[in-house]
Chains A and B, each alone.
Chain A
């Protein structure tokens, strides 16, 4: 099964859990991200913020003319560590490839689907607590 398909199933499962159970709460709706679109960004990390309610990867992405800066939202540290992440996995200057769902607004921000780290590991973004997608 492809990674993209697994991610889609993960999203659907989360949507089902939140809607069907009728009792679970989530921090916010993810509707501001366009889940029908996937972008792949490759760039240099400027900061990795292991914070709540969400972690963020700030990344400079080279373009034809100059560099564009992106802010990428992840789950919370609790969710991320269940997906195999550590707070020390990314540092300033690390080159990463990020697959994201971009903001619908067109601004340079998005929600992480999968990160490829300099050591070759691929890590997902929950929202479940199982192994990261792609591993």
Chain B
């Protein structure tokens, strides 16, 4: 009788140890908690430079696209010097889309994380992108072009690895032309308990000679409540010359 009791106790202990090991393994593999609001992090004096964002790599377009791009950038710079800035789509409150929505001026983003989906809400223009974690990516030709395209992701050693396709050609990063073959890859990961990096790579076999890469940095904003942003009082308009003007009121 005593022998059976001892055996049962040993078995129970063994089971407990197994469960503890499994729980520990699960904890080690568990994705980090990214839920909440995140503000742009710029580093600054005294900050660890490894935590700061990195500038974009040089934009190297295929020769057939480079000339027109350079000419347009020069015209934009000259117009700005004249005080007559050329409009971009956001002047008309058109959303930025992926990837530009990830860093609009000083506006925060909010991450909502579930086992099957990570949702990112940008405060500026209330943009929303959804990253599916439980399904494969589609073929590029099967995704209707849009502002946010189709994003799928998975966790890899604590990093959320995201693949995005299906961005419409008018939705451009820094007004760089792209084709329907553009692919955006991201590695979103904590580099410190409250500092998040989004390492972005833009590839396009049609327009880009080299991928564009840059890293955005965010700081956790634990108590921040996202501010609504509905663009219902846009007084900027674009005149016949494509110049941004401001509507004024009489009273």
Contacts and interface: CB of A to CB of B under 8 A. Distances in A.
B98 interface: no
Interface string B217-251: 00000000001111111111000000011111111
Nearest to B42: A17
B92 to A, nearest CB: 10
Contact of B246 (A22, A46, A103): A103
Contacts of B83: 31-32, 34, 104
Interface stretch (B64-72, B104-112, B134-142): B104-112
B80 interface: yes
Nearest to A71: B248
Contact of B244 (A29, A108, A127, A128): A29
A32 B85 contact: yes
A78 B123 CA distance: 9
A76 to B, nearest CB: 7
A129 B81 CA distance: 27
A52 B229 contact: yes
Given A21-B55, A71-B248, A129 B39 contact: yes
Interface residues of B, number: 50
Nearest to B93: A53
A56 B235 contact: yes
B85 A28 contact: yes
Contact of B227 (A53, A58, A78): A78
Contact of B249 (A17, A51, A71, A78): A71
B195 interface: no
Most-contacted residue by chain A among B79, B81, B82, B248 (CB, 10 A): B248
Interface string B153-164: 000000000000
Contacts of A20: 55
A3 B246 CA distance: 26
A31 B88 CA distance: 13
Interface in A44-95: 46, 49, 51-54, 56, 58, 60, 69, 71, 73, 76-79, 81-82
27 contacts: A18-B105, A21-B103, A22-B174, A22-B214, A23-B53, A23-B56, A23-B103, A24-B103, A25-B96, A25-B105, A27-B124, A28-B236, A29-B80, A31-B80, A31-B85, A52-B231, A52-B233, A53-B233, A58-B249, A69-B249, A71-B235, A71-B249, A78-B227, A104-B83, A105-B245, A107-B248, A109-B246
Interface of A: 17-18, 20-29, 31-32, 34, 46, 49, 51-54, 56, 58, 60, 69, 71, 73, 76-79, 81-82, 103-105, 107-109, 126-129
Given A54-B234, A69-B249, 8 more contacts: A21-B53, A23-B56, A23-B214, A27-B90, A31-B82, A78-B229, A103-B246, A126-B106
